[in-house]
Structure 1
């Protein structure tokens, strides 16, 4: 038989058990709540939209070419006696580069001059006699023609002597010397003795796709990048009026100033042709963009550290930056890292706000 005290102990045990269970449930509920808070707070990196300069451009490659270059040949036949320049030497137009033997040309000139002097003396005497009516006009005119013909022969002999001097046709730098001392040069063999390139101005030829032709204009700027060198500015100076049917491209020529002679013909360049420049565009890094239903979107962080997905309209684009035409305002905080795990109204923890150039 159970006593009253036994019933009291049983009731106390039941109350104690309920208290323990309630306390445990409360602790578990608090832990779950903290876990939920951690899951909902997603760490992200963000950036503030800013105003800056951006351009519409086309990227391609090109090889530098000399604006002026010449293969120097001899107009005379002879043996090379003197070479006055070497590869790398700067020369000016008309400068003497090499001398051929000219003994034969000198003798020929002396002979022609002697004959001219004889005719000149005879013409003087004949002219006096003609003025005195002692000889006919026909005799005087024939002698005058002989004198004129001999004068032309002397001029040709002087030219032949002058052509034994090999001179630079343009100003530039000797890029190759083919001539050698003692070499027999034949004027009819078109042997190249020197190669001269003009490095003061270089050209870069690019081939623009047909769809880019509408944006290309004479006078537009271009930026040329070379390995191990600072970028160099260039200018679009010529655009072909014909589209190459085989490639669908248009030949365009860039002029590259090279007063310091740092650039060389044959150098390979990465070319960025700038069609248009906006000085005060609203800019955003490209990595902030996401694609939703084939349209660009971004996640914007509000004052409560919640994000919302916003569609944006894009304008000009560069390597890492894009122009925002609509959808954002100046100073908006936009997620650039961690956005793949986000959805509308997600709570985020902005780890850092990056600055971008």
Structure 2
């Protein structure tokens, strides 16, 4: 049986259309697969833009505050404590009376010496008149004058002994400890401490700088001192030892800390940052962007096509989280800070976030 010609043409047309449909589907699937492969190949990373900012060259260490001046107050004479005028924590001025020892014996001795001096003074005056009229020899007059001078010295010593029964502050500061008690016998030969006075208007902190930092350290440089639970205090480098410790390889340096408000106390522990130099407009980058390859610091920079290239950089000053870039980067370069361990040159990346620092 023969099939009619129109029927044959219909079958041929259907076969051609099916073939074209299958070809189109294969091409679409191929394009989708390629796009998906490219998306999967892009490595997700985070980046920052290099920027200008301030950074300083500094050295961090720790120290303990010390009083610039301190004194153990002792008695220069023997006696019993009669009165005490200050307590621990009281502010005192140099020369202020802290305690009083019994002084009757010293007062009686002074009165006796003054009476003897007065008697001898009157006698010397009479002898001087007689000497002027040449009624006595020069030898007699000079011997009496020497006796008068010696007795005057005895009066001065008696006055000194009386003053020494008054225990006075040798420096201005704060009474840190009171050892003296009323009725206590004080012995001048026992070097017995009665009070401990510290001057805390100005405190000091001793730090030990490594030998390699010595070239950057100079008198007058500023430092920041951080204490637990308090805001940072400013300090100043005032002394640098001319000798390097051969065992530790460090140099002793002293910082001065103003303490007019009496907030700081001797013995407090501090975190110290000694600032050697400050650059106000340095090119900065986070430290976590750096990678070390063969003792060379490198970073990955993202270009406009989202591909990365490894670039060596030269570092300058460094802080806790930031470094100065001296060469190798330009302002505004997009630098990878997370995910760089899986990268190679010309790798395709997907920048999921551009962070600020």
Task: Please say whether Structure 1 and Structure 2 have the same fold, judged by a TM-score greater than 0.5.
Answer: yes
Range moving further from structure 2, 298-307 or 139-148: 298-307
SS in 2 for 1:235: strand
| Corresponding residue number in structure 1 for 2:236 | 235
1:247-295 superposed Cα distances (whole Å, 9 cap, x missing partner): 1111111111111111111111111112222221111110111123331
Q: Distance in 2 between matches of 1:161 and 1:20?
A: 124
| Corresponding residue number in structure 2 for 1:62 | 63
Mind listing any 5+ residue stretches in structure 2 that lack a counterpart? none
| Corresponding residue number in structure 1 for 2:142 | 141
CA-atom RMSD, angstroms? 2.4
Q: TM-score, normalised by structure 2?
A: 0.92
Range moving further from structure 2, 339-348 or 46-55: 339-348
- Deviation for aligned residue 1:33: 2.4
Q: Distance in 2 between matches of 1:104 and 1:309?
A: 91
SS in 2 for 1:188: helix
- Deviation for aligned residue 1:120: 1.0
- Deviation for aligned residue 1:341: 2.5
Q: Distance in 2 between matches of 1:22 and 1:227?
A: 75
Q: Distance in 2 between matches of 1:340 and 1:333?
A: 17
- Deviation for aligned residue 1:14: 9.0
Range moving further from structure 2, 22-31 or 344-353: 22-31
| Corresponding residue number in structure 2 for 1:211 | 212
User: Cα 1:290–1:137, aligned 2, differ >3 Å: closer, same or farther?
Assistant: same
Q: Distance in 1 between matches of 2:102 and 2:14?
A: 131
Q: Distance in 2 between matches of 1:28 and 1:179?
A: 99
- Deviation for aligned residue 1:220: 1.4
SS in 2 for 1:328: coil
1:216-261 superposed Cα distances (whole Å, 9 cap, x missing partner): 1111111111111111111111111111112111111111111111
Range moving further from structure 2, 330-339 or 182-191: 330-339
* Aligned: 1:198 with 2:199: yes
- Deviation for aligned residue 1:302: 2.0
- Deviation for aligned residue 1:349: 2.7
| Corresponding residue number in structure 1 for 2:125 | 124
Residues matched between the structures, number: 353
- Deviation for aligned residue 1:31: 4.7
Mind listing any 5+ residue stretches in structure 1 that lack a counterpart? none
Range moving further from structure 2, 52-61 or 63-72: 52-61
| Corresponding residue number in structure 1 for 2:281 | 280
* Aligned: 1:53 with 2:64: no
Q: 1:172-183 counterparts in 2 under 5 A?
A: 172-183=173-184
In the TM superposition, structure 1's runs of 4+ consecutive aligned residues that sit over 4 Å from their partners are 2-5, 10-28
Q: Distance in 2 between matches of 1:214 and 1:128?
A: 76
